[in-house]
Structure 1
Amino acid sequence: MFWSIVLLALRAIRRNILRSSLTILGIVIGVASVITMVTIGAGATTKVTADVATLGTNLVEVMPGQGPRPGGARESAAMFKIEDAEAIAREVSGLLAVAPVATRTMQAISGSANWSTTVTGSTNAYLQTRNWPLASGHEFADSDLRAGSAQCILGATVRRELFGSQDPVGVTIRLQKLSCQVIGVLAKKGQTSFGMDQDDMILVPLRMLQRRIAGNTDVGAISVSARHGVSTEKVQRDIERLLRERRRITPGKDDDFHVLNMQQLVSMLAGTNRVLTALLGAVATVSLLVGGIGIMNIMLVSVTERTREIGIRLAIGALEREVLMQFLVEAVVLSSLGGLVGIGLGLAAAAAGAIVLEVPFIFNPGIVVVAFVFSATVGIVFGFFPARQAARLDPIQALRYE
C-alpha cells in the first residue's frame, strides 16, 4: 500500500516537472547553504588551529607593554633584558625552553640578489619553542652565542630569494653592511591564516644583533614553551607573578607587559569560527522555511486542481487517511528530492570553496544527515495542512467541482 502511494506521488510530481522543480528550489538552496557554510567553517577552524600550532608547542609569548589598546594604540613600557629570560627559565617550573627575542627589519644581500626580511636575534631555544627543525646545516655553538659571532640561519623564503635552489650553507651574505656566514637553513613552515610568511626571516645570535645591529641590550619578547602535560595557564600565571616582582609593580597597578597564551588564542579563534558558522547556518535555514512555505502553497494549488480526482477516489471507497497519506507523501518526496539535490550541490560548493580559500575539506556526515532529515521534516510540517484539506473534501461537492 505504501509503495503504491509513493508511486502515485511520483507520477503526480512528474506530470508537473517544471512546477515541482521550482517548488523545491528553496529547499535546495537552504540545504546547500547549510552544508556549505558548516563544512567550510569546520575547515577554517581546523586550519586556524593548525596554523597557530605551527607557531610552537605549548607556546607562551611575553611582550612589554599592555598590548593593543582601544583604537589600536599601544602603551610604551621598558623593554626586557636577557636576565628576565634567565629568571623565567630558572624560577618557573614545567618549562621546556625559554628564548629571549629581538628583531630588526634589514636588507639581506648575496651577490646581485637582495631581499628585505626580518632578522631575529635569539638562541637555539627559539627553534625549540617553535618546534622548528633545520632542513640543512647546524645550530649555533654555545661559544658563538656567547661571543655574538656573525652567523645566521636562513628561513626558506630568504634562501629561495637569495640562492634559488642552491644550498647556501657556508656562504657569506651581508645584512646591510654586516657580513654574516650562513650555517643552516630552516625547514619550510609556510604562511599562517593571518597571511604571515613564517619562512621570511633570518635567525642570528641574540648578542650579535644587540651589539652589531641594534646597539643596545634590549629584548623585545620572550618565547616560552611549556613541557607536555603542563598547563600553559599555570605557566602564564607564574610568569606574570615573577615579572611583576622583577619590574617592581606594586599591588593594584596594571602590568606593563602582557603574556599571550597560544592555547587560549586557539580556543578563542576556534570559538569565534564556530559562532560565525552557526550564525551563517541559521541564516541559511531561513531558505528551508521559505522552501517549506513554497511547498505548502503548491500543494494547496494541487488540491484545488485535483478536486474531481479526489472526489472520485473518495466516492469509490478510498479512506480519508489514504488521501491524506497520498498528498503528504507528495510533499515529503518533493522536499526529500530537494534535500538530496541540495546535499550534492552543498558538498560540491564546499569542496570548491575549500580549494579557493585554501582550507581543508572536512566532510561531516552528521550535518548531511541533519540537513536531509530537516528537509523531509519541512515536507511533513508544511504538507500536512494541504493533505488534510484534501482528505476532508466532501465527495459530492468534489465531484460537482468544475
Structure 2
Amino acid sequence: MLGIIIGVFSVIVLISIGQGATASVMDTISSMGSNIISINISDRRSSFDYKDLIELENLEGVKSATPIYNIYGAVSHDLKSEKVRVVGANENYFNINNYELEYGRLISPIDVDYRNKVAVMGLTTVNNLFGYDDPIDNEILIDGQKYTVVGVLKPKGSSIIGDYDDIVIIPISNIMRQKRTAVIHEITAQAESADTARQAAENIESYLYDYLGNDESYTVFSQGQILDIMDDITGMLTAMLAGIAGISLLVGGIGIMNIMLVTVSERTREIGIRKALGAGRGSIMLQFLIESSIISGIGGIIGVLSGIYASSYISKLLGTRLVINMYVLTVAFGFSLLIGLFFGLYPANKASKLRPIDALRFE
C-alpha cells in the first residue's frame, strides 16, 4: 500500500507543481497583452539606432515601440542602497508593459531627447529606499549617477518571474550614453490589436531583413507565438514528470504482487478448505483480486488526498498558482486500481490452481 501511496502522491504533486508553475508563467506573459512583439537584434555589428526605431513604429499594424536596456544597478538614497533592475526606455514603455502612474509624472519624449536625469520608481523600490517619505523631487544615485525621482508607479504585484514593483525606469538615452553606445539591440513593440499582431510581426521581420540583410541577425516573437511555444514545452515536461512518477506506481504494483504471493503461501490450507467445500477457481481468484484491489484502492485514496494537500502547501511556498487537475486525479486513482488488479492477477491465478488435497497437506 505504501508503494501505491508514494506513486499516486508523486504523480499528483509533480504534475500539479509543473502545471501551476506553467500557469503562473503563462499568466505573466498573457498579462502583458496578446499584442506585444519582442524584438532582439543579435548582430553586435548592427547600426540600428533610435532614429531607425521611428521608421519601425511607422510600419503597418505597429502602434508603438520602445527600446529597452536592462541593467542591475546599485540604487541608493542617503545611507540606503539596493540592487535594483534599472530599465532604460522611452515614454511608450509604461503603456506597453501595463504600468500605471500612482503619483508624479512619467518619462516624456523631451526627457529622452535631452537626456534628462529623471527616474520613475516602482513601489517596492520606493519603500526600500524612502520608507514613508515622499520620493518626488528627491535625488537617487544609480551606479554613482544622480537622478531626480519624478514619478511613482502603481503596484503591479509579483509572479514566479519576480517583483514587478522593484524597478527603476530612466530615459534610455542616459544608459546609452553611460554605456557609450548608440545601437539598440532589444525592442518591445505593441501591435494595434491582438488580431493584427501576427501581421505586424511579419512587417517588422521584413523591415529588419531589408535593414540588416540577414535573417539570422534578429529574432521577432509575438506574444501569441511565445504562448504556443510555452504550451508545447510544458506539455512535454508534464508528460515526462508523469512518466517518472508512474515508475513509482509500477514499483508499488510489484510490491503488491510480492505481498499477495506471500499471502497465497501463508493461506494455502485456507484455500484448500474452501475448495474442498466446493469453491471454484473463479471464486478463489475473485477473493484475491478483491484483496489486491482494496490494498491499491486505499493506497490510491490516501495518495490522492496527501498529494492535494502537499501540492497546496508547495504552491503557497513557491508563490505559484495551485492547479489541481481532476483528470490527473482520476487517472492516477484509476491507474492505482488497475495496478492492483494487474499485479494481483498472477498470485490469484496461482491460488486458484491449487489442488485441494495438496493445499490441505501443506505445512
Q: Same fold (TM over 0.5)?
A: yes
Give the structure 2 partner of residue 88 of structure 1: 56
TM normalised by structure 2 equals 0.87
Determine the C-alpha separation between the residues in 2 that align with 1:216 and 1:397: 92
Determine the C-alpha separation between the residues in 1 that align with 2:244 and 2:144: 58
Q: Does 1:203 align with 2:203?
A: no
Deviates further, 40-49 or 142-151: 142-151
One-letter code aligned to 1:381:
F
Give the structure 2 partner of residue 42 of structure 1: 19
One-letter code aligned to 2:122:
G
Q: Which has the larger radius of gyration?
A: 1
Determine the C-alpha separation between the residues in 1 that align with 2:154 and 2:266: 71
One-letter code aligned to 1:259:
V
Q: Does 1:387 align with 2:353?
A: no
CA displacement at 1:296 relative to structure 2? 1.8
Three-state SS of the structure 2 residue aligned to 1:202 is: strand
Determine the C-alpha separation between the residues in 2 that align with 1:176 and 1:394: 88
Matched-pair contact (CA < 8 Å) for 1:109–1:174: yes
Check 1:384–1:178 CA distance in 2 against 1; reply closer, same or farther (3 A cut): closer
Within the candidate set 139, 151, 159, 1:184 is matched to: 151
> What are the Cα deviations for residues 87-139 of structure 1, in whole angstroms up to 9, with x where unaligned?
1221232x332123345665544334344545434332111111111222233
CA displacement at 1:224 relative to structure 2? 0.2
Determine the C-alpha separation between the residues in 2 that align with 1:176 and 1:285: 52
Within the candidate set 243, 264, 277, 2:225 is matched to: 264
TM normalised by structure 1 equals 0.79
Check 1:299–1:175 CA distance in 2 against 1; reply closer, same or farther (3 A cut): closer
Q: Please give the residue correspondences for 1:2-401 in structure 2 after superposition, counting only pairs within 5 Å.
A: 24-55=1-32, 57-66=34-43, 76-93=44-61, 95-102=62-69, 107-141=74-108, 144=111, 146-175=113-142, 179-190=146-157, 193-194=160-161, 197-207=163-173, 213=178, 217-230=182-195, 232-247=197-212, 249=213, 253-401=214-362
CA displacement at 1:49 relative to structure 2? 1.4
CA displacement at 1:313 relative to structure 2? 1.8
Matched-pair contact (CA < 8 Å) for 1:296–1:383: yes
Determine the C-alpha separation between the residues in 2 that align with 1:293 and 1:338: 14
> What are the Cα deviations for residues 191-213 of structure 1, in whole angstroms up to 9, with x where unaligned?
5545x5543432234456557x5
Determine the C-alpha separation between the residues in 1 that align with 2:285 and 2:203: 70
One-letter code aligned to 1:379:
G
Three-state SS of the structure 1 residue aligned to 2:37 is: strand
Matched-pair contact (CA < 8 Å) for 2:10–2:245: yes
Matched-pair contact (CA < 8 Å) for 1:101–1:221: yes
What is the root-mean-square deviation in Å for CA atoms of aligned residues? 2.8
CA displacement at 1:397 relative to structure 2? 2.8
One-letter code aligned to 2:168:
I
Deviates further, 33-42 or 162-171: 162-171
Which blocks of at least 5 consecutive residues in structure 1 are unaligned?
Answer: 1-23, 67-75
Deviates further, 171-180 or 278-287: 171-180
Matched-pair contact (CA < 8 Å) for 2:209–2:215: no
Matched-pair contact (CA < 8 Å) for 1:37–1:280: yes
CA displacement at 1:279 relative to structure 2? 1.4
Determine the C-alpha separation between the residues in 1 that align with 2:29 and 2:143: 32
Determine the C-alpha separation between the residues in 1 that align with 2:175 and 2:362: 94
Matched-pair contact (CA < 8 Å) for 2:48–2:184: yes
> What are the Cα deviations for residues 239-287 of structure 1, in whole angstroms up to 9, with x where unaligned?
111122234x2xxx44433324444334333433332232122122122
Give the structure 2 partner of residue 69 of structure 1: none
One-letter code aligned to 2:38:
E
Determine the C-alpha separation between the residues in 2 that align with 1:393 and 1:239: 78
Three-state SS of the structure 1 residue aligned to 2:148 is: strand
One-letter code aligned to 1:203:
I
Matched-pair contact (CA < 8 Å) for 2:59–2:200: no
Check 1:169–1:54 CA distance in 2 against 1; reply closer, same or farther (3 A cut): farther
CA displacement at 1:335 relative to structure 2? 1.0
Matched-pair contact (CA < 8 Å) for 2:70–2:87: yes
In the alignment of these two chains, the number of paired residues is 363
Determine the C-alpha separation between the residues in 1 that align with 2:358 and 2:27: 68
Determine the C-alpha separation between the residues in 1 that align with 2:87 and 2:247: 51
Which blocks of at least 5 consecutive residues in structure 2 are unaligned?
Answer: none
Matched-pair contact (CA < 8 Å) for 1:98–1:125: yes
> What are the Cα deviations for residues 210-253 of structure 1, in whole angstroms up to 9, with x where unaligned?
57x56664434321012333254432221111122234x2xxx4
